Amino acid sequence: MSNSAVLLVGRILLALIFILAGAMKLGDPGGTAGYMTSLGLPMASIGVWVVIAVELLGGIAILVGFKTRQAAYILALFCVVSALLAHFDPNDQIQFTMFLKNLAMAGGYLVLAASGPGDISVDARRG
């Protein structure tokens, strides 16, 4: 398999979680805002829309390879921040696994930011 094909598959796999998560949050923004409030986050009713936009738009950008490096850096930061704010609980195995999953995803996004999207992308078509 060519490097561009591998990068495409990697982008699809990295994008999928955010596109689906953003779509699910869009279906119940009140529930997500409530969860954010339970974490002690201020302005959750506004923050939920920022989260939805980052997840959906960032996920779609990664999927199609548009502004890939920028989107990858944003999503890497998002993964680390959400890991720290929502999942850092070493006493809860599920939350700690989610924390580590977010850090691993951040690593994947940083690798994508460094490598670029490959030839099968909007970025490559745009030159």
Nearest to 117 by CA among 127, 107, 103: 127
Q: What is the pTM of this model?
A: 0.94
pLDDT at 54: 98
Q: Which amino acid is at 119?
A: D
pLDDT tens-digit readout, 23-48: 999 999 999 999 999 999 889 999 99
pLDDT tens-digit readout, 60-115: 999 999 999 999 999 999 999 999 999 999 999 999 999 999 999 999 999 999 99
Burial (0-12, 13-18, 19+ Cβ within 10 Å), 101: middle
pLDDT at 1: 84
CB 118 within 8 A of CB 3: yes
